[in-house]
């Protein structure tokens, strides 16, 4: 009983403090997803335009969640979750989206965000079932998933001077 309570406490604390969790559905690779911990579960929003993908996560299904350390990046705990999709307009959906909206960074349409989520996205609740604190043998490294995101080109020649504060002689007083 005590180890179960400690496992639940570890899951809650680690997941609350981590900005990203790695979630893997029954099929496919694990993905890094932003989330909010609220009332004993991780809340996710995605599968819509300008939102994170949630492949393989279905209502009533299970998912494996891995939580990393915020400071060192190493694995702290892994847990199995029951996936519940929240229905738009319900009280649970309103509460969840209120929490998610507060943590959604860089939203293009912050004023109409909840309306867009209700029409185009899915809101999921990942409820912990058990915690695994044992660490696996060997590396869990994987090849990065394909993405349409790109790295911008090289910085313009003047940018480093502006960023690193090369001052002109006139401002330094070296005349």
- Residue 110 belongs to a domain with what CATH number? 2.30.110.10
| C-alpha 81: how far from chain center | 15
In the chain, the number of structural domains is: 1
46 in any annotated domain: yes
User: What are the 10-residue block averages of pLDDT along the chain, 175 residues in total?
Assistant: 80 90 90 94 92 92 90 84 96 95 82 92 94 67 75 66 60 55
In the chain, which ranges are continuous DSSP H helix?
A: 2-17, 91-103, 113-120, 158-163, 169-172
Determine, yes or no, domain membership for 147.
no
Provide the pLDDT for residue 91. 96
**Strand boundaries in the chain, DSSP class E:** 20-24, 31-34, 36-38, 41-46, 62-68, 75-86, 122-132
Residue 6 lies in a domain: yes
| 72 burial level (CB within 10 Å; 0-12, 13-18, 19+) | exposed
Could you tell me if residue 162 is inside a domain? no
CA atoms within 13 A on the CB side of 62: 7
Is residue 123 assigned to a domain? yes
The answer to the question of residue 118 being in a domain is yes
Residue 169 lies in a domain: no
For 99, the domain range is: 2-135
122 located within any domain: yes
Whole-model pTM? 0.76
């Amino acid at each position: 009983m005590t180890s179960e309570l400690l496992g639940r406490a570890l899951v809650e604390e680690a997941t609350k403090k981590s900005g990203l969790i790695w979630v893997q559905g029954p099929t496919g690779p694990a993905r890094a997803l932003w989330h909010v911990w609220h009332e004993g579960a991780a809340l996710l929003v995605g599968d819509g335009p300008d939102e994170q993908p949630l492949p393989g996560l279905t209502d009533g299904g299970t998912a494996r969640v891995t939580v990393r350390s915020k400071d060192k990046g190493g694995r702290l705990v892994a847990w199995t979750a029951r996936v519940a999709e929240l229905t738009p307009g319900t009280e649970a959906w309103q509460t969840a989206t209120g929490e998610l909206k507060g943590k959604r960074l860089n939203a293009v349409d912050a004023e109409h965000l909840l309306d867009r989520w209700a029409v185009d996205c899915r809101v999921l609740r990942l409820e912990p079932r058990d915690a695994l604190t044992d660490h696996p043998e060997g590396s869990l490294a994987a090849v990065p998933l394909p993405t349409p995101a790109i790295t911008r080109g090289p910085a313009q020649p003047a940018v480093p001077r502006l960023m690193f504060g090369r001052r002109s002689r006139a401002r330094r007083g070296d005349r």
